[in-house]
Structure 1
Amino acid sequence: MGIFDKFKSNKSAQEKARKASDAAEKKLNERTGGKYEDQIDAGQRQAEERLGMKRDRPDQP
């Protein structure tokens, strides 16, 4: 069992990772003035999917 398999089964670790991911997204959007918001969001989604952190998000405008 690899480290990512352990991560996928640990709900508290996933919640911490979600909070960190959201904080990073917010900070990047602040630093870029929202200019690259779509690209940052797409990157965040891809990273979370690769880690097995699928979340139900409404599509953002």
Structure 2
Amino acid sequence: MGIEDLVNQAKAAVGGHEDQAKDALDKAAEAVKARTSDSQDGIVDSVVDKAKDYLDEQEK
């Protein structure tokens, strides 16, 4: 199983459940931020925002 297969499986799992995926991203971000220094918060938020933007593009 290659990376492309994993990406396709993830897309299939998220399809139609974008809002739930965004909620999961928020919860994961909070967990990461709780375990890392405050200086990393901006990076975590940036990654989450990009992931949410990607999900929004997939909805179209």
**Is the structural similarity TM-score above 0.5?**
yes
Query: Is residue 2:18 matched to residue 1:18?
Result: no
Query: When the two structures are superposed, what TM-score results if normalisation uses the length of structure 2?
Result: 0.61
**Identity in percent:** 20
Flag as ranges the 4+ runs of structure 1 deviating above 4 A: none
Residue of 21, 31, 34 corresponding to 1:27:
31
Q: Which runs of 5+ in 2 are unaligned?
A: 1-8
Query: When the two structures are superposed, what TM-score results if normalisation uses the length of structure 1?
Result: 0.60
- Name the counterpart of 1:46: 50
CA contact (8 A) 2:29 2:45 kept: yes
Q: Which has the higher helix share?
A: 2
Cα root mean square deviation, aligned: 2.5
| Alignment: residue pair count | 48
Q: Which runs of 5+ in 1 are unaligned?
A: 54-61
Distance (Å, rounded) in 2 between the aligned partners of 1:51 and 1:15:
9
